[in-house]
A = this chain, B = another copy of it.
Amino acid sequence: MEFEIKNKDSKSKARTGLLKTQHGMIETPAFIGCATKGVVKGMTFPELQKIGTQTIIVNAFHMYLRPGLEIIRRLGGLHKYINWSKPIFTDSGGFQAMSTRFYCKIKENGIEYKNPYDGQRYIITPEKSMEIQHKLGADIIMIFDECPRYGLDYKYYEKSLELTLNWAKICKKLHNSTDQTLIGIIQGGTFLDLRKKSVEKMLEIDFPGYALGGLCVGEPKEVMYKVLDHTVPLLPKDKTIHLMGVGTPQDILEAVERGVDLFDSVFPTKTGGHGGCYTHKGLKRFDNLTGLNETTPIDPDCSCYTCKNYSSSFVTHLFKDNEIVGKRLIIIHNLTFLMNLMKNIRTAINNNEFTEFKEAFLKRYLRENKGSN
């Protein structure tokens, strides 16, 4: 992986760049489509490409549980198995410890979990995570980390950070591939001294790029922005910074302004599946019947397939009757909206107009927004 910075905004830390991987280029700032189990909810890969998706992130742990590594190997690796020839990230599986579905227990040597398919308890270690990610063969892979939720006490984050740092060393040691790039993950909750320590220690281990984990896990927006304010400047300027779990327009704009290059989040697809739509005037909901009499599209200023072809009435009708196409139309809209936002952000930075773009976007977005943003 190579990362080249193209343009820097003069009034903020925003920047555009070009990330070169074995499977092609990624123009940054970029939103990475979340294909947790090998697919972005509701979307085929040609559809994703058509709306400007440059790369996806797959959860290595999920793919290991099912379909399993052997069948993926027999079909030629992850890219061929899911039939996506562009860059792929894999997440290590540490984030899954937050899911109650796996009844996880954190141990010194790894994370014990309950396999939902056979009900048995197993342990996933940094060694195992590296083995899985190497076998899957994604372009960019992640260290195995512990990702604690928001609201625990200082001591927990301190201890958790020690684990993540130990595991990071193991992962680094086991990673010799030049085809795959291993990324370090910064943890430390919302405690600025722990975040600082996390950065210092990760830089000692030395990775070609860094991700910020453990954010957007329940903390107030302002707290997340403060962590970014203090953490991003500590990271090397010539390496990619990936903010994991962030996918709302406001958070993306605030983070780009602070120097973040990469984002991934299930928010656009998850909220879409529940009837939540991005619009230029904030989040709009389709989980009630109020849209049924609206002749206008979801967002009259959107150029997506859904908005160009269907009324809010039709979308509401299908969504409320649980038709697959109802969810699809909303997800197509949300992802297109987000991909267009990223493109507009890159253009604004390249034109040295990012601050103005952000201000104009948020002025309209926040004024009428009643939902999450």
Report yes or no: A318 in contact with B81, Cβ–Cβ below 8 A. Answer: no
Report yes or no: A292 in contact with B66, Cβ–Cβ below 8 A. Answer: yes
Report yes or no: B292 in contact with A323, Cβ–Cβ below 8 A. Answer: no
Report yes or no: A310 in contact with B71, Cβ–Cβ below 8 A. Answer: no
Q: How many residues of A contact B (CB 8 A)?
A: 37
A318 to chain B: closest residue by CB: B39
- Is A317 interfacial (CB-CB < 8 Å)? yes
Q: Mark A295-329, 1 if CB is under 8 A from B, else 0.
A: 10000000001000111011011101101111111
Q: In chain A, residues 71-106, which have Cβ atoms closer than 8 Å to a Cβ of chain B?
A: 71, 74-75, 81-83
Query: Of residues A292, A317, A326, A329, which shows the largest number of chain B Cβ atoms within 10 Å of its Cβ?
Result: A317
- B-side contacts of A66, CB under 8 Å: 292, 317, 320-321
Can you spell out 20 A-B residue pairs with CB atoms less than 8 angstroms apart?
A37-B318, A37-B321, A38-B318, A39-B326, A41-B324, A42-B324, A44-B328, A66-B292, A66-B320, A66-B321, A67-B292, A67-B313, A67-B314, A67-B317, A71-B293, A71-B295, A71-B313, A75-B313, A75-B314, A83-B314
The interface of chain A, by Cβ under 8 A from chain B, is: 37-39, 41-44, 66-68, 71, 74-75, 81-83, 292-293, 295, 305, 309-311, 313-314, 316-318, 320-321, 323-329
